[in-house]
Structure formats: structure tokens, C-alpha cells
Amino acid sequence: MAIKPYAEVIVDVKAKKVDKVFHYRVPQKLLGRVTEGMRVIVPFGRRTVEGYILGFCDTPETAGREIKEITDIIDEEPLLNHDLLTVARWMVDRYMCSMVDAIHAMMPAGFRKVRPRFIQTIDLDVRGEELNDLIAALSVKAPKQAAVLKTVLAGGAFTGAELARLSGTTPSTVRELIKKGLLVTRQTAVRRDPYALRSFPETEPLNPTSEQKKALRKITGALDRGKHETFLLHGVTGSGKTEVYLQAIAHCLAKGRQAIVLVPEISLTPQMVERFKGRFGSLVAVLHSRLSTGERYDEWQQIKAGRVKVVVGARSAVFAPFADPGLIIIDEEHETSYKQEDNPKYHAREVAVARARLSGSAVILGSATPSLESYSRAVAGRYTLLNLNCRVSGRSLPVVNIVDLREEMHAGHRGIFSRLLLEQTQGVLERGEQAILFLNRRGYSTFVVCRECGLVMRCPKCSITLTLHAGDNVLRCHYCDFRRQAPDICPKCGSQSIRHFGVGTQKVEEEAAKRFPGAGVARMDTDTTTKKGSHEKILNRFKEGRVDILVGTQMIAKGLDFPGVTMVGVIAADTALNLPDFRSGERTFQLLTQVAGRAGRGDSPGEVVVQTYNPEHYSILNAQNHDYRAFYFEEMKMREALEYPPYCSLVRIVIYGTEENSVIRGAEILAEILRQSAAEHSLGVSQALLGPAPAPVSRLRNKHRWQICMKGKPGQLVRRLVREAVEKARDSTMFVNLGISTDVDPLNLM
């Protein structure tokens, strides 16, 4: 194939006006070396910048401009393959992001700064018969030196200290052989393997249940055909979804292809790593944010080089640089953590399906509580629905008890724990079993108020209350991390009537330790898991039985499998239910079902206590009955009546800036542009435009925020209208000091 002389380059400059392809001539010295997906240095204006080659052409559209040459290449090999570049282009259209933002999302953390790690190793400088004769002679005259040479001959890259230890000699013996020229030192690249010092017991495939067999037949059939198909694996908690994943991956590897497994929480990664490493050993790489930058870079390089075949990781692992992925699995597919909140605001589930279409891969979306979007696609036949209705080994689902906190108050019981929860927890401890206490709110108390003048302690940068963290007596903002010492005297009126209201996980932990003094209590939330490896340490203590009661937020609500847990207590089921978000009912049902599913996964039956002020709400009642389908149809009626997703496509636009009046005026201008576009195109919904209005968090990090939501029939029209309106607004002088953020099908309206 003839080499095309011009490269199509996207420059690594974050400016809307340069988010397009620029053409550069490939110089003679680089012909045959530059390829698609490679990073290069190019002249751009009066400076040189990095860029990415998206393709090549014979005759560029110059429009009278001079065609400059590529200055140099940065990497000898392309960082992105053709499929990933195609996915990046799809993301630009789907999420209204820049091409550079899409490419950056695919790169490992610190890819510009991190370099391979080298160590000095020892190798032989002589080989063959000459070496054998030398070892024989030294065995008589200098047996220690002979021992060193035999160790090196046996193979492996050793440092001087390792070589001395393994041969039973000393470093001075190694140095003597280097002086004689019999050994040489080399620079050897080493992998920063986060699990190098860990061993994982090998596991064998389990005998699948009849439901698992049926699901596997469908999945392996798609893998055999090599054509894209998306499966929704709807399995109750404890039904063996992970075993289906493992056996499907084994079939994928047997076909010579690779597999990607996404998990929603870092806290799930230790257990998942143990299961996948136990089944596939060194073929598994791990990618998540708690690895060091060097570890993540090296894992990424292992994947790119094809030295591993399975990747287990968080959201960004969907971009793992495999050459031929045959299977992409998204565990707990309903989880909101799969949606990126910063640009590009992509959803890993959508990206996985888009990537799988290109590569002819199968996708498995697994959940006990599927998102309404996924389940509605399965009902419509766009996804293949696979059901696992029973727990493995005939285990029963836990009994869920609802406690009406209003009745508790009327009975004069005002503590954090209801009478039933106290009774159940005490029973668990007496039987030598374990309990989980769940509250989706960290900290000690949710807000601090002066009972004299009514002052509520708020963040000076954000429009939210500060949360008390009792350990260091500090008030913290959970959005911008502003901190201040908790006052003893009201800063407004000077009274001593400062009180703490609301409950956080820290307070639950303290109360549990007080109520059950003989029990081991641990807390797992963002505050207790900041250090590397802290998730695994807490979970190992729980697994080993050194912790009787585990208190935590949503990071303990799903995926964890501990046979000793027979009771789960939900401290406040209404936390998600009262959020100003149309998905609040769905999130409540999902959280309650998932956290309840942690109980009764061993030989003993499970019990759940749910404390609520809304015991009649359908999301709580259906969670009590483990009835997803009843919840689904009830919720879909509400969504259809209000014309919300999945019955429409939704785009959220946030206008932000330091001057509130300018933000309001900018929001009104943009809303008017959108209103005219909606009228011209008849979007097909009764309320095409919602807003402008202050965002629920109306001030964040010193920026005022107003929002507009635009609805329309699912498809590209709404995105196109929003894109055009935003571009038109940005050309206005009104928006010089304002920012505009767009989020396609947002999961969070806060």
C-alpha cells in the first residue's frame, strides 16, 4: 500500500476553535514510522504542541494555507488503535465533548510524565562450552564464584543483592566476577505490579445451575458467532452472576480474544481481583484509581503489549487498549459511578456497547436491579434478557422488615437504632454472626445550627451545609473540601447554643460501639479509605471475623460477598428518596435491594431491617418483596406521564460564573435560543424546556450556577439543537466570562 504523504492531526490544545483536524506533511525521515493513533510534535502558530494522528490523506484541503511538517514523534508505537479512535469520534458526537477530551479519557493517568522503571541487573558475558569449562574450573578454585555463575545460568534477571542471596554468597563475590568480565550489568525494565507480593489460590469452574447454563449457552453462542450482542443478565443477589462472567471469559479466551470487566466501586475490586486472579492468574491486569500512577501505567502497557488477556477495573477500563476484545462485562450496570462527571461526561455502559459494535464483541450488563434504560431495552428486544431468579445452593432471599420511624417516635424511642434493629443486632452477635449497618451519608452529623439565632454553618464557596467530622472536630464541605474548626460559640450571635443535627456514618459507628460494647466495629466510607490498600484491610478484617459490625456508605451496599453476614440494617432509607431528582425512587429501590442482598449469602438465613419515614412508598415496598418487575412497571408509569427518560432524551446545561446577575442573564439568553429551536422543530414532548432555574447546588467553588434541561424524543435532534445553541451563545460577548457545561442524559441533576 502506498504511503500517504499528509497526516490528519488533532492538536492537544483545549480551545473550541481548534477542535478540528489540521493537516501536516510527513517528512522524509518519518515516512513509514508514523502511524494512526501516534503522538507527535507539530508546529502550531508560533509554538510547537503535541498532537495525535487520526489518519492520512493524499491531497489535504489547504484553503491557501502553508502545509507545515511534523516535527517529530513522541512514541515509537501508537497509543490508540483504530477502534479506540473511532470510539473517540463517536464520543464527540454523543457527549458534545472535544476530540482531545475524548482521547485524554482513554489515556492512562500520568501518561506524559511516567516512564518505564529500570533496575540494574546482572547477566553473563560468556556462554556455551567456554562457560561450562569455566564453572568446572571455578568449582575447585573458587566455589562461591562458580555458585554465582550457576545461578545466573539458571535464568532470570537478578540485581546484585538478589544474586548474592540466591547463590548463597556475598555481593563482593558478584563484584569480583564483574571485574573479571565474566558478568555484566544491564538496565532492565521492571513492571510495577501492584499484586507482585500476593498469591491467589487457584479456583476451578463451579458446576453451573440450570439458570446459569441457559445464560451461558446464549453468551457463548454469541462469542462463537463473533457478532455483537448485548445481554442484560438480571440476577437476584447471590444468584451467581460472577461465575457466569468467569465461565464466559474462559470461553472468550479460548477463542483467542480478550475480555474487559468493569466494577463500580474500588471497594469491590479486592474481591473481584481475588476471584479473577484465582481463575486466570497472571493473565489478569487491574486498573483503578487507587493504584499508583506508575502501577497504572505499567498495567496499561501490559494490556497494550498483549501480555495479559483480562482487565478488571473501574469506569476508565472500558478504554483498555486491547487489540481484539471479545467480551465486555459491566457488573452492577445500574451504578451511577459509571457516569463520568467531568468532561467528557461519558457513560461507560454506552461506551462499552459502542466499542463492542465495532469489534463484534459481546456485552454482559449484570445487575440485580437493572437501570430502567437497560431493562426497557431488554423488554423492547434491543438487548437479550437473561434471568437468574434463584440464589445458588437453594438459599433463600433475606426477610426484609420495615420499621416506621414515626411510630418509633410516638412510642418515645428517638435513638438512631430502632427497637427491632437493636434486638436483631444483639441476636446476631450472640450467635457469633456478623452485621452490616448502612447509611449513605458520611461524617458525624449532617449540619450544625445555632438554636438561638438559627444560623446554619454553610460552606462559603458552595451553597450547602457543612458536615461535622467529630474525630478532629472539623466542619467539612463534601463538594470542595473547605474545612474550618467547629465553633463552640455561635459566630453570629455569640451564644453557646450550637447543636449538631442529623446522622452520619461516624456517629452510627460511635453509637454501635456504645450499644454493643463487646463487638468489633469498623467503618468504611470515603473518610476511612483514603490511604492505598485501606479498602482491602477493612474488608480482610471483616472477612477474618475480627469485625462483627461493619458500618458504611454505598461502597458496602453491593457486590460484597461475606457468608458470615446474616443481618443488614438500613439506618435511613429516605436519604435518596428525598433528593430533588426524578431518579430518586429508582435509586432508593436499587440501594435497598443491593444492601439487603449482602445478608444470608452463607448457610444461615438473612434478615434485613429498613428504617424509614415513608413505609408506604412503592420503591420501599417493592424492595421489601424483592420484586423488581413490580417496581419497574410502577416507575415507568411515572416516567411516561412526566416524559422523563427512558421516554425522552435529556440534556442538562449548566451556566456558571462569579457574577450571579451575569449568570442569570446568560441563562435567560441561552434558554430563549433553545426555546425558539424547540418550537421550530416540534420536539414531541409537552415540556421541551425546563428552566432556566438555579441549580440544586446553586453555588459551587465560588461559582454561581443556573441550569436548563432540554427534553426531546430519543435520538440526535436534541443534542444537535443544544450544540448549535451553545455555539451561538458562546459567540456572544455576554458569555465571555461565563462557562457552559453540557451533560447528555445526566444521572445527577444536583
Kindly state the average pLDDT of the residues 121-146.
79
Q: Given pLDDT bands bounded at 50, 70 and 90, which one contains residue 163? A: confident
pLDDT score of 644 more than 60: yes
Q: Which helix (H) or strand (E) holds 526?
A: none
Three-class SS state of 254: helix
pLDDT score of 54 more than 90: yes
* DSSP H stretches of helix in 608-703: 618-624, 628-642, 660-681
Q: What domains lie within the chain, and their CATH numbers? A: 6-106 (3.40.1440.60), 117-190 (no CATH), 210-394 (3.40.50.300), 399-446+502-639 (3.40.50.300), 649-744 (3.30.70.600)
Peptide bond into 321 cis (omega under 30): no
CA distances (Å), origin 395, targets 235, 392, 400: 14, 6, 15
Is the model more confident about 292 or about 252? 252
pLDDT digits (tens, 9 = 90+) for 577-601: 766 678 889 999 998 998 888 888 8
pLDDT digits (tens, 9 = 90+) for 13-35: 988 888 999 999 999 999 888 99
What pLDDT score does 166 carry?
A: 86
Question: What distance in Å separates the CA atoms of residue 38 and residue 165, rounded to the nearest whole number?
Answer: 43
Kindly state the average pLDDT of the residues 421-432.
94
pLDDT score of 501 more than 70: no
> Which residues are 699's β-sheet partners?
704
- Picking from 552, 593, 268, 598, the residue whose alpha carbon sits closest to that of residue 428 is 598
What pLDDT score does 64 carry?
A: 60
Q: Given pLDDT bands bounded at 50, 70 and 90, which one contains residue 630? A: very high
Three-class SS state of 750: coil
Question: What distance in Å separates the CA atoms of residue 118 and residue 298, rounded to the nearest whole number?
Answer: 12
The tally of CA atoms less than 13 A away on the side-chain side of residue 131 is 18
Is the model more confident about 623 or about 528? 623
pLDDT digits (tens, 9 = 90+) for 514-572: 999 989 999 888 777 777 778 788 888 988 889 999 998 877 776 677 889 999 999 98
pTM over 0.75: yes
Cβ 260 vs Cβ 365: under 8 Å: no
pLDDT digits (tens, 9 = 90+) for 169-189: 988 998 888 888 888 888 877
Q: Given pLDDT bands bounded at 50, 70 and 90, which one contains residue 362? A: very high
Question: What distance in Å separates the CA atoms of residue 327 and residue 306, rounded to the nearest whole number?
Answer: 16
Cβ 93 vs Cβ 354: under 8 Å: no
pLDDT score of 255 more than 70: yes
| Chain-centre distance for alpha carbon 523 | 21
pLDDT score of 723 more than 60: yes
What pLDDT score does 72 carry?
A: 94
Cell readout for 398 is 433475606
pLDDT digits (tens, 9 = 90+) for 659-677: 999 999 999 999 999 988 8
Percent of the residues in the chain that have a pLDDT greater than 70, as a whole number: 95
* DSSP H stretches of helix in 329-371: 348-359
* DSSP H stretches of helix in 184-334: 210-225, 241-254, 269-280, 293-304
What pLDDT score does 642 carry?
A: 85
Buried b (16+ CB within 10 A) or exposed e, 398-429: bebbbbebeebeeeeeeebbbebbbebbeebb
Cβ 707 vs Cβ 655: under 8 Å: yes
Three-class SS state of 46: coil
Question: What distance in Å separates the CA atoms of residue 351 and residue 365, rounded to the nearest whole number?
Answer: 12
What pLDDT score does 689 carry?
A: 86
Q: Given pLDDT bands bounded at 50, 70 and 90, which one contains residue 433? A: very high
Task: Specify the pairing of strand 362-367 against strand 229-235.
Answer: parallel
Cβ 705 vs Cβ 694: under 8 Å: yes
> Which residues are 403's β-sheet partners?
611
> Which residues are 450's β-sheet partners?
498
The tally of CA atoms less than 13 A away on the side-chain side of residue 585 is 20
Question: What distance in Å separates the CA atoms of residue 49 and residue 18, rounded to the nearest whole number?
Answer: 12
